[in-house]
Structure 1
Amino acid sequence: MVRYKRHHIAGRPECDKYPILDNDDNELIRNDGSSIEFRGMLRVDLNKSEDARKNVHVIMMNPSAADSDESDGTINKVIKFFVEGYDEEGYESSYQEIIDSIKYLNVFNILPIYNPNNDVLFDDFNTIISECGKGYLEALLEENIQRIIETLKDDSTDYIVLAWGGISDGFPFTLYYHLVCKVLDSLITSEKELFVFKTKSFAREDQDTLTLQFNPRHPRGCNLYDLVPVEVQSLYRIIPLEP
């Protein structure tokens, strides 16, 4: 179990989480004995000064393990970034004032099913279809995306960070990007401040702002060291507003 760093958070994180049930109200269980579970929003109250009052919504790929009681490596990394910033002596972020103003971290996911291994995530989807029906899964995914879209439009939303990355070869690209495009479409006319993470490799080498497939970078597998403002233009293009 990965624990939250208690000096990084205030109180207990809130998590919209529940097990997926079959038509007989039994939990769907994988071969390893674990339950297939849904997670909506994960909300973390950051341990920041009283001056910090803003909300940031970070949209990632799918949940790994984090909930109200346990965290995971990716969530802890994002929390640390918004609490401590980048740990390189002499580096000054152009957006430190924004980072310092953030009190509430809200994490959403394009795919709302827990699974730390994306290579077998589609197995969970097939199990849900087999046990609950295709319509159930379609409704679940649509409800999740619509909640993301409505939350991003809400007046309480201050900043949005796109961070979903690219899906692995074990999952249908068509389904993943169908859902991604729904979120991007809602942001084309958005007046909210949009960002992606600026990252370095683990060797501390600068990485391009977007991936080779022009996705925002996912926090896993890199170091986070700043924010880059972006806008979403027609044809679902994410355009960095600085080099």
Structure 2
Amino acid sequence: MGSFDLTGRKALVTGGARGIGASIAQALAKAGAAVMIGDILADLGEQTAGAIAGTGAKAGFVPLDVRDDASWQAAVAATVETLGGFDILVNNAGIEITSLVVDIDAEALRRMLDVNIVGVGLGMKHAFRAMRPGGAAGKGGAVVNISSVAATIAFPSIAGYSATKSAVDRLTRVGAMEAGKLGYGVRVNCIYPGLIPTDMGMKLAGDVVAVGLWPTTDAAVGDVVGRTPLGRLGEVGDVADAAVFLCSHAARFITGAGLPVDGGMGM
């Protein structure tokens, strides 16, 4: 695999039990990395880790509530102990709660802030502490944060989600600057996926119908495809391949960047 070979690397993927996170974990393992799945979905997370281990890769599961400092500390310690190191973090865990601006619910907004912003911020904190010189792993590494095309376009009914994913972009860039300036040896980048027909993506398609923006789910999805120059929805593998690239030696001089994986929708 050359520059994309991740043999010897040790990764933690949040929200890795299903959807985009599971696909990223599988792709990292296929590229040679040992992978830890971090998620609140214990049964499904164990199944995903088991499936990866069944391919011959080293894989495990650790319970992780990304909103909680102590949970992060325990998850990183378990990753280092189980995998023998830690040099890749993919901050993938996220939630989306659809709402028109006139109907924003404070508690729903706070939930998205906690998972999508606080979760990413804490993940970067604990990754930096473990990966920097003198840390529990201490060999530098790569952090990939999953943002969204919602950070780059004005799509109706997802103002709160868009705000949180825009914040992920800012966290990424400031984190990359700090990690470089302070000599941590950690690169930090983010990905902006387009709409992907995971459980979350299809729930959004149904939700925009429920709030009266489109007449049917098919019409909503068709409109998204119509706004996408490549003429299709994304696939989980599209994002997974981009994550492997950003974690690999091929991206060795890339940090503080946002990579659109949206078929051109965010242009």
TM-score interval w.r.t. the shorter chain?
A: 0.3 to 0.5
Relative to its length, the structure with more strand (as a share) is 1
More helix by share: 2
Question: What TM-score does the superposition give when structure 2 sets the normalisation length?
Answer: 0.35
